[in-house]
Amino acid sequence: MTDPSPADVLIIGAGHNGLVAAGYLARAGLRVTVIEQRDRVGGACTLEEPWPGYTMSPCAYVLSLLPPRIIRDLELHRYGFDAYIKNPQTFVPFPDGEHLFLWVETARVQEEIRRFSPRDAAAYPRFERFWQRATAILGPTLLQPPPSLADLAARFRGEDEDIFRLLMFGSLSDVLHQFFESAHVRGAFAGSGVIGSMLGPMTPGSAYVMWHHMMGEVNGTKGVWGYVRGGMGRVSSALAASAEAAGATIRLNSPVVRILTDGTRAEGVRLRSGEELRARAVLSNLDPKTTLLHLVPEGDLDAGFRERLSHFKTRSAVYKVNCALRELPRFTCLDPHDGVGPEHCGTIDLSPSIEYVERAYDDAKYGRPSQHPYVAAYIQSATDPSVAPAGRHTISMFCQYAPYHLASGTWDDALRAEVADRAIAAIAQYAPNFPDAILHRQILSPVDMEARYGLPDGHIFHGEITPDQLFSWRPIPECAHYRTPLAGLYLCGSGTHPGGGVMGAPGHNAAQALLADWRK
């Protein structure tokens, strides 16, 4: 069966980037249909209720990267979007009984750091300015077509050249050693350069990964992270409502099995049901390899192109453990107290040293889940009681490392339970009551994240966000500008510039590319 009244644009996937593209294209007057295989919008930026009364953000969990322009243009606050800053940003406990809070306010962080090193406390404002300057130079590229490396390098002049050197070719360890002498202070930032990536803090490229997580803002405050009230899925529901108000149509429970072509251009899609939908253009919010190597007929693309795209790195590093809690974790490094404390309000980061995180990566390099994982835990219920029953809490544990491709064995239930136990034990080292506080738990291996949310090899960014896979190289030069070798087929997901996270920039940029082509 073929749709007798084709749309102007079909968008495959109602993840947040697809919804951003739908919002812009519908506002430009185009007839837009978004096609989603699941029973809800959002992709990995969604909400679930795995246990009655508990609202979980199973994958994406905090917000910073969504540009204010997109929030304004799509009027997201009209449709229920409400974000707030988490403060402190981070709480780091250490094995020796020490701890460190990283607050939003610079002076408060300096006071924390001064306990470990007066020199490092004085260096902290310079450390902040390093990232702020990087954002001032690179930030404008996020909502623009991707620059080439040569164009990018030309933006860094004089003293700024050293920022370019470190971001493009340095490791996070290089940056941290340049600013700080205390192993505790270095450790507090060691996880920031590996989030979602199959690399360690000593690996070149990890400095850029940290900048990717430092470039955003929440409610006008730059470089910080926050929660979305009600959970991250509220971003996607606001985007969907905004797109529908502009005239877009969203179809759920409609898996796409083929992109229809005439051999040279995209003409529509075929659903698993057999139904065919026609359109003047197709945007895919799926990852590039799934789109071009699986949904497009093999003969429509040059063999060399397919080979080059197959090498785009999508090696997963992440597993998630989401839990319902009867009580909050009580950390032995802090004075005993009841109820919510500042340690529960931001990220609980288990990165006691650069070496600890690097050793966790060492396991994964050889196909083994980390014996002692890096864990970043978030207790949204501490500041947003709407996500849990009264007197109960939620915790989302973002854990590394977990290779999708194992050296031996499979991601069966026994291995899922084993890696979850390791993450729980990592927190229990600092909060002994934690294991007994768990009422329920949900374990998402890389295999689960691929099957449920369409993340290739479980990769949360649709592909590594290291400099060799960014800008005009993302995913490969032939389709870095959102266009593909097939006319009328565009990419709008996280596998395109400027990369992953709940950002919306790829969706925005792909929509602008399509509109520019049609204006011509």
CATH number at residue 485: 3.50.50.60
pLDDT tens-place string over residues 450-473: 999 999 999 999 999 999 999 999
More confident: 6 or 38 = 38
Share of the chain above pLDDT 90, in %: 96
Strands (E), 36-137: 48-51, 54-56, 83-85, 90-93, 99-102
What's the confidence (pLDDT) of residue 5?
A: 58
Q: Chain-centre distance of CA 292, in angstroms?
A: 22
User: Inter-axis angle of helices 172-179 and 183-190, to 10 degrees?
Assistant: 150
What's the confidence (pLDDT) of residue 520?
A: 80
Does 60 reside within a domain? no
Does 70 reside within a domain? no
Distant-in-sequence, close-in-space partners of 233: CB < 8 Å, separation ≥ 6: 40, 42, 45, 46, 47, 57
Does 63 reside within a domain? no
Residues 122 and 157 in one domain: yes
Ramachandran quadrant class, 217 (left: phi over 0; alpha: psi -120 to 50; beta: rest): beta
Does 75 reside within a domain? no
Does 68 reside within a domain? no
What is the mean predicted confidence (pLDDT) over 229-257? Answer: 98
Matching residue, tokens 């910080």 = 224
Residues 206 and 327 in one domain: yes
Name the nearest CA neighbour of 10 among 236, 240, 287, 251.
251
Ramachandran quadrant class, 206 (left: phi over 0; alpha: psi -120 to 50; beta: rest): alpha
Give the 3-state secondary structure of residue 171. coil
Q: Chain-centre distance of CA 457, in angstroms?
A: 14
In eight-state DSSP terms, residue 191 is: G
- Number of structural domains, the chain? 2
pLDDT at 6 > cutoff 80:
no
Average pLDDT, the chain: 96
Residues 199 and 322 in one domain: yes
Residues 214 and 339 in one domain: yes
Does 20 reside within a domain? yes
* Angstrom distance (rounded) from CA 345 to CA 91: 9
Does 71 reside within a domain? no
Residues 368 and 507 in one domain: no
Q: Which domain holds residue 134?
A: 87-224+317-401+403-444
> Could you check whether the bond before residue 401 is cis, i.e. omega within 30 degrees of 0?
yes
Residues 418 and 387 in one domain: yes
- Give the domain-ending residue among 392, 413, 444: 444
pLDDT tens-place string over residues 399-432: 999 999 999 999 999 999 999 999 999 999 999 9
Residues 209 and 243 in one domain: no
**8 A C-beta contact, residue 156 and residue 163:** yes
Residues 374 and 339 in one domain: yes
What's the confidence (pLDDT) of residue 313?
A: 96
Give me the amino acid identity at 127: F
List the CATH number of the domain containing 410.
Answer: 3.90.660
Per-residue pLDDT band for 1 (boundaries 50, 70, 90) equals: very low
- Give the domain-ending residue among 444, 471, 504: 444
Residues 351 and 435 in one domain: yes
pLDDT at 143 > cutoff 80:
yes
Residues 127 and 165 in one domain: yes
Residues 140 and 191 in one domain: yes
pLDDT tens-place string over residues 342-385: 999 999 999 999 999 999 999 999 999 999 999 999 999 999 99
What is the mean predicted confidence (pLDDT) over 141-164? Answer: 94
What's the confidence (pLDDT) of residue 223?
A: 95
Name the nearest CA neighbour of 187 among 255, 65, 93.
93
Distant-in-sequence, close-in-space partners of 407: CB < 8 Å, separation ≥ 6: 366, 367, 368
**8 A C-beta contact, residue 38 and residue 430:** no
* Angstrom distance (rounded) from CA 126 to CA 152: 23
Strand (E) or helix (H) holding 208: helix 206-212
Q: How many CB atoms lie within 10 A of CB 327?
A: 16
Residues 93 and 210 in one domain: yes
Name the nearest CA neighbour of 187 among 318, 121, 91, 62.
91
* Angstrom distance (rounded) from CA 184 to CA 357: 13
What is the mean predicted confidence (pLDDT) over 298-316? Answer: 95
- Give the domain-ending residue among 444, 472, 499: 444
* Angstrom distance (rounded) from CA 192 to CA 188: 9
Structure tokens at 344: 């529960």
**8 A C-beta contact, residue 21 and residue 511:** yes
What's the confidence (pLDDT) of residue 316?
A: 86
